[in-house]
Amino acid sequence: MRRLDRWINYAGNHRSCFSFGIILIVIHLVLVAERVYRYRHSGAWIVIARSSGQCLHFNCALVLLLTLRRSFTWLRSKGMDWLLPLDRTIYFHKMIGWLICVFSVVHTLAHIINYGIMSRGNGAKMKDYLFDKTAGWIPGIVTPSGFAILFLLFIMGLFSHRLVRKSGRFELFYWTHMLCLPFFFLMIMHAGNVWKWLVGPLCLFAAEIGYRIGFICCSERGRTKVTSLQLLPNQVVRLKIERPPDFEFHAGDYVYVNIPRVARFEWHPFTISSAPEHEDYMTLHVRVAGGWTGRLYSMCQEDAERLERKQSRHRIVQQQISDKLSPFQSMPMHLEKSVAVTGQDNPAFHEQESTSLPAISSEVAISIVSATENIRNTYRDLLPTEMPIMLDGPYSGSAMRAWNCRHALFIAGGIGVTPFASLLQSLVSRYQSAMNACPHCHQSCCTNVPSSLGKLRHVDFMWVNRDLLSFQWFLELLLDLDKEQSVRGSVMENFLDIQLFQTGTKTMPDPHEPCASCRESLAVTPQLQTDLLDANVIVPSAPASQVTGRCPYCTIRQVKHLLNYGRPIWDEVFRDVALRSGGRVTVFYCGPASMARVVMAQCKKFGFTFTKEIS
């Protein structure tokens, strides 16, 4: 009975997928039944060929509809995600693609077997059936176009495999997928009635592509520039982008990005990691996972090295200027000022100032001016404000449903934290906008849940990382959340729970050398590393100004009270959430697929709703 309840909960969590799958099965059965009835007197192999061909027409139309991202965003905004599997469109797109391959092979084999049977029955040659010049819109085009379609499907299917997409050769997947254009052209040439299935989806597809092109090329919303690049630990780059005018997005949305300096024709999706309340800028966190992201990281490293060299030259120039001015800094300066008033006819005061200054040679003055101009020009060239970037989006993700949940559990693995970083920053912004000063202590706080948070009444946030330095990606956000929680009597005190997990080895990551502040404030000794990693030892927090530094000691000092070492004991975590939940718990997950399976099993066990972000 308990197992049946789990399956019922699982079906409830995936009701849109189940309903969509049932609809697909029914449509395929209806198409097959119609072909069986129509060709019931033509032989079994003809029935199989015609049935698979009819299913192939339907799936070719459906695979196009599943690529309409803009339409799915609109449907999600209308609340249709409970009926349609808008979170699983990529999964269904891949499934329909493989069905197209299967039906194509079945259709081809059935026709070849039928031709062989017919050639043996009437003594005709098989090639006469294969290359029948009377079949098709264009005489003799049916068989050559059919084999060409199979070849294109083989190429697209081969380079669509996960091993290719995740191996750093994403451009192979992208460009071979462009073979869909000749594929659909050959489909229309091959089958006379397929255009009736494709005309609608092709028009919608063309309209969406046209809208994207117009959005990017003819509007300022699709073109902007990167204002800063920041290298973060574990090969992560933070892009700070000037927010285009009228670029509206929701927390958890993602955009497709094109940086011509990295690759002119490649577009890649990334979740917006900043809150929509930040009107002037938006941020993306990009982790190296392939060729394009690797080139971006290498470009940032080159810029950082160039910046370091120029800053070194700047320091040398400053030292040279200081050395040249040092003989004059020790000389006394006398200032004599006299004011003379000339007559009643002119009431204005004429000030005559005379200053006694040490004489500075023209050579020193020229060197000071030229050095200042060179420094100014150097830093103008270094600022990455001229690096253009093009945006296609925004497109909505499932995380936007968090505001409609009563109890949300955010579980992030590694860089999968980006959609939740956007949501949590938006939560803090909405919370701070509703704060009022206490009439007794005059401290700003919020004692009631702001209406801008929707139905959300409690959030549990869990972030799992392999090592400590990864927490520096959003360390400032963690500090802001912890600061709001520390205010006694505020609604945030019981609204948000944060747990951080380090699953890697319990040792200090590189660099092991602490910064100057840690050496001064902690009096670093050989025992310091052991004390920092010991949960029972209390260590003073690091200054807030160091949250962007790379010192691992600063990171631990900031998050030590939130940090847990080792893998989460999921059964205990979910049982604790279930005991504290004020209603139905919705789990939002983004991270590795291996951890997703574990989290999904726990959701199935405790009856939580499971939602997985695309990572």
Higher pLDDT, residue 339 or 290: 290
Report residue 52 as tokens. 């698979």
pLDDT value of position 522: 53
Compute how many other C-beta atoms are within 10 angstroms of the C-beta atom of residue 175. Answer: 12
pLDDT value of position 333: 45
Average pLDDT over residues 430-443: 65
Q: Which of 168, 180, 188 is nearest to 205 (CA)?
A: 180
Average pLDDT over residues 224-228: 87
Do 392 and 227 touch, CB atoms closer than 8 A?
no
Q: How many Å from the N-terminal Cα to the C-terminal Cα in the chain? A: 35
pLDDT value of position 126: 67
Instruction: Please say if the pLDDT value at position 364 is more than 50.
Output: no
Higher pLDDT, residue 168 or 465: 465
Higher pLDDT, residue 499 or 162: 499
Q: How confident is the model at residue 545 (pLDDT cuts 50, 70, 90)?
A: very low
CA distance 28 to 5: 30
CA distance 316 to 311: 9
**How many residues in the chain?**
615
Do 47 and 35 touch, CB atoms closer than 8 A?
yes
pLDDT value of position 235: 85
Instruction: Please say if the pLDDT value at position 167 is more than 80.
Output: no
pLDDT value of position 444: 60
Output b/e per residue, 148-167; b: 16+ Cβ within 10 A.
bbeebbeebeebbeeeeeee
Report residue 524 as tokens. 């670093």
pLDDT value of position 173: 84
Residue carrying the six token digits 């996972």: 289
Q: Which of 456, 443, 455 is nearest to 484 (CA)?
A: 443
pLDDT value of position 600: 87
Q: How confident is the model at residue 56 (pLDDT cuts 50, 70, 90)?
A: very high
Q: Is the torsion defined by CA of 33, 38, 41, 42 positive or negative?
A: negative
Q: How confident is the model at residue 337 (pLDDT cuts 50, 70, 90)?
A: very low
Q: How confident is the model at residue 149 (pLDDT cuts 50, 70, 90)?
A: very high
Q: Which of 257, 292, 288 is nearest to 387 (CA)?
A: 257
* Model pLDDT for residues 256-286, shown as the tens digit of each residue: 998 888 888 788 889 998 888 888 889 999 9
Average pLDDT value for the chain: 75
* Model pLDDT for residues 472-520, shown as the tens digit of each residue: 788 778 877 777 666 555 555 567 888 888 887 665 555 455 666 565 5
Q: Which of 457, 473, 438, 391 is nearest to 216 (CA)?
A: 391
Give the three-state DSSP class for 323.
Answer: helix
CA dihedral 107, 108, 109, 112 (to 10 degrees): 120
DSSP letters for 398-419: GGGGGGG-SEEEEEEEGGGGHH
Q: What order do you get walking across the sheet with 281-287 strand by strand? A: 268-271, 254-258, 387-395, 223-232, 236-242, 281-287
pLDDT value of position 342: 42
pLDDT value of position 379: 33
| CA atoms lying within 13 Å on the CB side of residue 269 | 15
Give the list of residues 6+ apart from residue 410 with CB closer than 8 angstroms, or none.
Answer: 402, 420, 423, 424, 459, 460, 461, 462, 588
pLDDT value of position 381: 34
Per the DSSP assignment, residues forming a β-bridge with 257 are: 268, 391
Q: What percent of the chain has pLDDT over 90?
A: 13
CA distance 223 to 392: 9
CA distance 358 to 360: 6
Q: Is the torsion defined by CA of 366, 369, 371, 374 positive or negative?
A: negative
Cα–Cα distance list, 182 to 57, 106, 186, 366, 423 (Å): 16, 21, 6, 67, 42
Instruction: Please say if the pLDDT value at position 239 is more than 50.
Output: yes
Helices (H), 14-68: 15-38, 44-65
* Model pLDDT for residues 191-221, shown as the tens digit of each residue: 878 888 999 999 999 998 888 888 777 777 7
pLDDT value of position 523: 52
Report residue 183 as tokens. 């594929």
CA distance 465 to 556: 13
Higher pLDDT, residue 535 or 128: 128
Per the DSSP assignment, residues forming a β-bridge with 454 are: none
Instruction: Please say if the pLDDT value at position 449 is more than 50.
Output: yes
CA distance 585 to 578: 8
Question: What are the φ and ψ backbone dihedral angles of 407, each rounded to 5 degrees?
Answer: -130, 115
pLDDT value of position 607: 82
pLDDT value of position 302: 81
pLDDT value of position 220: 76
Per the DSSP assignment, residues forming a β-bridge with 268 are: 257
- Read off the amino acid at residue 330: S
pLDDT value of position 154: 93
Instruction: Please say if the pLDDT value at position 147 is more than 80.
Output: yes
pLDDT value of position 555: 64
Instruction: Please say if the pLDDT value at position 575 is more than 60.
Output: yes
| CA atoms lying within 13 Å on the CB side of residue 178 | 7
pLDDT value of position 30: 94
Q: How confident is the model at residue 120 (pLDDT cuts 50, 70, 90)?
A: confident
